[in-house]
């Protein structure tokens, strides 16, 4: 049987498994298998050379039973509706598993931002907001940055929304620059939340992290901060990292700060001194304590999962491990910290940003870190306790916790 790589099909399979174990009735199960609202838009954008280019865009609200939808906007040349559907489902379970009063949503634009000028990015950002503004807002659906979108792009979108309404609404977007109502601690929140979860998991499973090794697959924002915080918070030693152009390896250790500086200056990891070139696949098979997949979905699959030699996988990307790979990793005794738990730090601090916007009162960095640590620690132990009760792995346990909460909210509302 051919392995399934459609992310939404995978997301639905995961829902089906949890629904069966929870004993959900047919109507609730079917409701949770599908987004509640899907919107497509065609965006004409004036390019710098005077021509007009057409972009295809999406916004999906998966479920809002527990609160307004929440989820990032991805700009990627391979963006698809099914990818956005899957991501909006995972956002629903993500907000639920960390127990914040939000639902799940996601957005996307089919584009290659690396080929766009600053002005073209701004015009695309504003065009996106003009297309979707009626469906967005603090009581409806709140976007945030995701793959290849930035605080600056969020600032343009927020400004367009406020221009249309003629009012200040900083909470309509999170992940904004601090000067426009962003939260301290948002930039590294995805990685920091994963670091907190890895710390708690290592303690529970008896894995020593001080002086142990890590490899980071995907060296964007989350991957860079995972490397930095892995050193700083956990005492891990970075031995390998990779990006879309390839990877590097040095078993003696790589300075995370030096590698981040090199990547920011050169746009690539290739050529980093005192390290050997390796492929992404070779990186996945390295004998390390913690592997951080921090790129895109379907990186660890049935055809390569058998080569993994790590003790723990901390998923900072969304959907990096397929169901076939999960079964193989389970058999190998590799602990997998599932994506919608491990990378929930980003949406958690986005939620903190919404709270601060609403109060017009902003927290110091130390308070953000303390609140994030508390949320992620509670979420991990809740999932681990479910795992122990049900005799299942952490991913299945996280689904049981999250889906049970959303199903309860749907029933209390009288939807099913």
User: How far, in Å, CA of 355 to CA of 362, rounded?
Assistant: 9
Residues 6+ apart with CB under 8 A from 268: 243, 245, 246
What distances in angstroms separate CA 244 from CA 23, 183, 268, one per listed residue?
42, 29, 8
Number of Cβ within a 10 Å radius of residue 327: 13
Record the tokens describing residue 352, joined without a space. Answer: 């903190």
Record the tokens describing residue 350, joined without a space. Answer: 């986005």
Q: Strands 69-76 and 276-278, how do they pair?
A: unpaired
Task: At 65, give phi and psi (nearest 5°).
Answer: -65, -35
Given 70, 106, 237, 375, the catalytic residue = 106
Task: At 331, give phi and psi (nearest 5°).
Answer: -65, -30
Task: At 373, give phi and psi (nearest 5°).
Answer: -55, -45
> Residues 11, 89, 290, 391: what is their CA dihedral angle, to the nearest 10 degrees?
-60
User: How far, in Å, CA of 151 to CA of 168, rounded?
Assistant: 17
53 included as an active-site residue: no
Whose structure tokens read 């309860």? 408
Residues that are catalytic: 106
């Amino acid at each position: 049987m051919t392995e399934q790589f459609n992310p939404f099909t995978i997301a639905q399979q995961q829902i089906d498994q949890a629904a069966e174990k929870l004993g959900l009735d047919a109507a609730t199960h079917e409701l949770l298998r599908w987004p509640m609202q899907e919107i497509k838009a065609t965006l004409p954008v004036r390019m710098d050379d005077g021509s007009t280019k057409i972009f295809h865009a999406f916004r999906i609200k998966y479920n809002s039973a527990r609160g307004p939808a929440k989820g990032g906007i991805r700009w990627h040349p391979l963006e698809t509706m099914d990818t956005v559907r899957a991501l909006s489902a995972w956002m629903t379970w993500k907000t639920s598993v960390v127990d914040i009063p939000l639902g799940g949503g996601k957005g996307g634009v089919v584009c290659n931002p690396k080929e766009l000028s600053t002005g073209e990015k701004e015009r695309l950002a504003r065009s996106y907001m003009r297309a979707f503004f009626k469906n967005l807002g603090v009581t409806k659906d709140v976007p945030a940055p995701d793959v290849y979108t930035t605080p600056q792009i969020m600032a343009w979108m927020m400004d367009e929304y406020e221009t249309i309404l003629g009012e200040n609404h900083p909470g309509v977007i999170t992940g904004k620059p601090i000067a426009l109502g962003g939260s301290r601690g948002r930039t590294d929140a995805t990685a920091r939340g994963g670091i907190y979860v890895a710390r708690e998991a290592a303690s529970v499973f008896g894995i020593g992290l001080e002086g142990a090794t890590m490899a980071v697959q995907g060296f964007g924002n989350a991957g860079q901060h995972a490397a930095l915080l892995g050193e700083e918070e956990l005492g891990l030693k970075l031995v390998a990292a990779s990006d879309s152009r390839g990877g590097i390896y040095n078993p003696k250790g790589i300075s995370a700060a030096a590698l981040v500086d090199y990547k920011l200056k050169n746009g690539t990891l290739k050529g980093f001194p005192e390290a050997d070139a390796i492929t992404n696949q070779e990186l996945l098979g390295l004998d390390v304590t913690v592997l951080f997949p921090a790129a895109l979905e379907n990186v660890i699959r049935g055809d390569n999962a058998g080569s993994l030699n790590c003790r723990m996988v901390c998923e900072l990307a969304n959907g990096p491990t397929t169901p076939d790979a999960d079964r193989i990793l389970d058999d190998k005794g590799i602990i997998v910290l599932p994506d919608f738990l491990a990378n929930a730090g980003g949406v958690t601090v986005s939620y903190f940003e919404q709270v601060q916007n609403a109060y017009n009162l902003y927290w110091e960095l130390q308070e953000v870190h303390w609140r994030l640590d508390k949320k992620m620690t509670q979420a991990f132990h809740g999932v681990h306790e479910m795992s122990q009760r049900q005799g299942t792995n952490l991913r299945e346990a996280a689904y049981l916790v999250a889906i049970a909460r959303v199903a309860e909210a749907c029933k209390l509302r009288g939807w099913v």
